[in-house]
Structure 1
Amino acid sequence: MKWRAPSQRTQFWLAAPIVLPVALLGAIWFSPLALVFWLDGKWRARQGAKGWHVWFAWHPVRPGPWWQRGGWVWLEMIERTVGGEGYEYRLPGGEA
């Protein structure tokens, strides 16, 4: 008797005990990650609607445009807005 490959239906039932738990674990793992990205988008939209606003620099940031950034600012009140790639910072009273 010559060997024949199992049909697609048989292959499905043979793979189901492996594929279904892996898919379920993937859905459980990716759902918190999707929630984090969704919340980050909401947060950035909210921050972007504020425009330039006063912000306490609780971590070191470099104010100014990327092509002429000066020194670091830390533990001071500065202004911040949401730019194209991320946040943009400037010293208070800077040009918009």
Structure 2
Amino acid sequence: MVSEKVLAIIAVALGTYLARFLPLKIKFATSDKIKSFLSLSSTSVISALFVTSVFTPDAAEFGVRVAALFPLILSFYRWRNFGLSIFAAVLSYYLLRLAV
């Protein structure tokens, strides 16, 4: 039997993939409504994933996740590089989890 976590990971992966793939596949659609919907849907999916990944009922974990956002924001404003910013956030999250 497949666990709930595996199903959740598959659902999130599929949603993220489709949110990025469909706008490229239907790039030449003639309807402006479809173009508008697809351009906004990827942003809304990423926002929903962000909100569900940050908020947790555990107060200590919530604090670690919020604290890990600061290096992400600061490094992005400093270098304007998404990859470096994500690396800074992951590294800070790891170090904070070791400390807590």
Tell whether the structures are fold-level matches, with TM greater than 0.5: no
TM-score (normalizing by structure 1): 0.33
Higher helix share: 2
Which of 1 and 2 has greater Rg? 1
Higher strand share: 1
